[in-house]
Structure 1
């Protein structure tokens, strides 16, 4: 991969390499310049209609006004749930290696089947509710009679605690999604089943939330029997053919970026603070000329889909996302991208020999994932492309179906934030959950 600047200052592929003194600036320049250079990048964007339809965000007029948008930017997951008239609970789960996870619940008391929703990279439990009761998947599941549990992986906004380690210390951040899969998810499942006295639950995982499920069931296969169904939304297992420009640049400069973070003593990826919330509330709100920049950064990462992006809600989305992750976590995904494999973290030859007994890191054994899995994928997903989805389908032994979202521009983040996600994805997911639970699939 080579990059050049054109006369407008836009990055594009060229014959000669460009060398940058600080690799992080490459990513920043990409994010800031590419949205204004779509012709160079050939993103196939369509002209925005001046009379583009306005989207009703919530079920009442009051909840769609600017004041509510600003308020929802700052509310926590449980505060959002309570604000819109649903019951909410906060639970604490301690993992085997000492991380304290905050799990959120929309409880039903009358022996309702539990369902666990697990977010993706940089995300949190809020992703399932921040679009409001007319759009959020968690609300829909509750309305359909499920006992809804929302996970938070270690290192995000709600799970930044440990029984002995401080998040200000590098030791706290010495994890990838591997540890989330072998510690966080099993501990959360055990807690839910003990609390509800059910023997099994439904699992819904988006992106990394699907990856961690596969890791859990491959390395701790006893958890397969605790799953009724697993609904994988844009599962980020095999990602070698992903075409996101941001990810391509970051993986190309993987070593330089990691070395830079190590040199400055930074082990956490997070920009979700009050200062950033004020910035996004101002620059990303409806009517601002800078709003397109906010959505284009998301599109560069996940795939362009203006029709399903509720631009009015951008301040709320960016008030909750990104919710934090470890640098090592992102590094692990970079390794998956560069290798085209779904494998454990590669520490280098010497450490691999000590840890794994072999020179290279081993692949996760997906033949051990015997729980029933339904795969939901999108044609315009820049991170998890159809070819990689098919590779995953072939590797799993008990796939009940592979379902392409019936909307050509649907992208990676549309699984949680799309305007029409209920009709395009969630109704299908719930239908499959019922069929599997009733033994009809």
Structure 2
């Protein structure tokens, strides 16, 4: 396959950045105030904090669970298969651990013998840094999930593979994490070769049948380039605050008369009527979410909804001509996704519609679909349901272990 010269330059920059990081790589002593790190330590698992620099100078914090206390009797120096988990929009690495050590996917991977890495995209709680730009300026937030895919995800995967001394990994993502996967594999197709297996929860690419009411309303005003989308773009969206954490401790706690507001908000966004959500997690979910993002990420999704296509950010005709050399944004070539993909989807997911997932699957050369056997399973049940271990997690691990019979 012939590579675009600009992609080759990007690859060289990524390799150079990675080499510089590895020459100075240090495992930081984690701070107790960081939720991902403190929770992992509280659950008696080891944790490492790593810093990843992207080619455009964003500074990301990612976490590693190198082993499990349940496997201390086994050879800890043996090479382990790598698994990388990527969160969704307005989320962070906390997603994969707050369900506790018996149910959370990250811990289950560690218990099964995997070298576990937890990513964090630019702009969230753990990745609000840039080499030159302060997060209080709009320049910091001038990105969408396109940049998260081609810069952040590529850099994090390369880093995890290099530190783990492996040439391939298993990849798991939820929601926007799946979108960034599609972006990366379509734009830089040689990353397909680094995938050992791929498991996408509530995948989002095409949004023709998207049913979230705020998307329908937002699409009218922000789904096409306009003065309003220009004014509202490149802004920080819903960062975590100390006031929010304090409120969560009261409103979402066990016994609170207002607890229904917390579960109701998740139902409104992810799909009404779920009986699966682990209600005891509401306080933890509230105190770590939303974790911050750029408004341009939301606008980009609204553009997909209005256009019916899976394509790059629409800056307007004049700027598109400069950036893309054409009046409209180029579509992502999903036919470039050559690695086999497992996609998990459900009927009651407002963000990831059944017809959209199945249409995407029809375009991929190697795909396996798993439709959740509950008609009320929603967008967040993929992470925090009472029965997520039995419905999804065990299925993913069993599938992965077919590739890794030495685990």
TM-score, normalising length: structure 1: 0.79
Match of 1:415 in 2: 382
CA-to-partner distance for each residue in 1:62-102, whole Å, 9 max, x for gaps? xxxxxxxxxxx975101100001111010001011101110
Match of 2:243 in 1: 275
**2:269 equivalent to 1:301:** yes
- Larger mean Cα displacement after TM superposition, 421-430 or 249-258: 249-258
Separation (CA, whole Å) in 1 of partners of 2:354 and 2:229: 33
Separation (CA, whole Å) in 2 of partners of 1:355 and 1:103: 31
Separation (CA, whole Å) in 2 of partners of 1:305 and 1:419: 14
Shift of 1:222: 1.1
Shift of 1:231: 0.6
**2:54 equivalent to 1:87:** no
Shift of 1:188: 0.7
**2:193 equivalent to 1:225:** yes
Separation (CA, whole Å) in 2 of partners of 1:250 and 1:428: 36
Match of 2:6 in 1: none
Match of 2:11 in 1: none
Cα contact 2:274–2:378 (8 A) shared by 1: no
Larger Rg: 1
Shift of 1:248: 2.3
Match of 2:202 in 1: 234
Cα contact 1:247–1:301 (8 A) shared by 2: no
Cα contact 1:305–1:409 (8 A) shared by 2: yes
- Correspondent of 2:298 among 326, 330, 336: 330
Separation (CA, whole Å) in 1 of partners of 2:258 and 2:234: 29
Cα contact 1:238–1:389 (8 A) shared by 2: yes
Secondary structure of residue in 2 paired with 1:253: helix
Separation (CA, whole Å) in 1 of partners of 2:305 and 2:230: 21
Match of 2:328 in 1: 360
Task: Flag the 1:317–1:258 CA change in 2: closer, same or farther, 3 A.
Answer: farther
- RMSD of aligned residue pairs (Cα, Å): 2.1
Match of 1:202 in 2: 170
Secondary structure of residue in 1 paired with 2:150: helix
Secondary structure of residue in 2 paired with 1:231: strand
- Larger mean Cα displacement after TM superposition, 145-154 or 404-413: 404-413
Separation (CA, whole Å) in 2 of partners of 1:418 and 1:91: 29
- Larger mean Cα displacement after TM superposition, 76-85 or 253-262: 253-262
Alignment of 1:73-152 (within 5 A): 76-108=35-67, 109-152=77-120
**2:158 equivalent to 1:190:** yes
Match of 1:434 in 2: 401
* Off by >6 Å, runs of 4+ in structure 1: 255-258
Task: Flag the 1:217–1:363 CA change in 2: closer, same or farther, 3 A.
Answer: same
Shift of 1:436: 4.4
Alignment of 1:374-393 (within 5 A): 374-393=342-361
- Correspondent of 2:254 among 286, 294, 300: 286
Separation (CA, whole Å) in 2 of partners of 1:404 and 1:146: 26
Separation (CA, whole Å) in 2 of partners of 1:299 and 1:422: 20
Residue segments in structure 2 that go unaligned for 5+ positions in a row: 1-31, 68-76
Alignment of 1:158-169 (within 5 A): 158-169=126-137
TM-score, normalising length: structure 2: 0.86
Task: Kindly tell me the number of residue pairs found equivalent between the two proteins.
Answer: 366
Secondary structure of residue in 1 paired with 2:171: strand
Shift of 1:213: 0.9
Shift of 1:271: 3.9
Separation (CA, whole Å) in 2 of partners of 1:398 and 1:346: 29
Task: Flag the 1:403–1:266 CA change in 2: closer, same or farther, 3 A.
Answer: closer
Cα contact 1:74–1:319 (8 A) shared by 2: no
Residue segments in structure 1 that go unaligned for 5+ positions in a row: 1-72
Separation (CA, whole Å) in 1 of partners of 2:112 and 2:404: 14
Separation (CA, whole Å) in 1 of partners of 2:247 and 2:225: 25
Separation (CA, whole Å) in 1 of partners of 2:295 and 2:99: 28
Shift of 1:220: 0.7
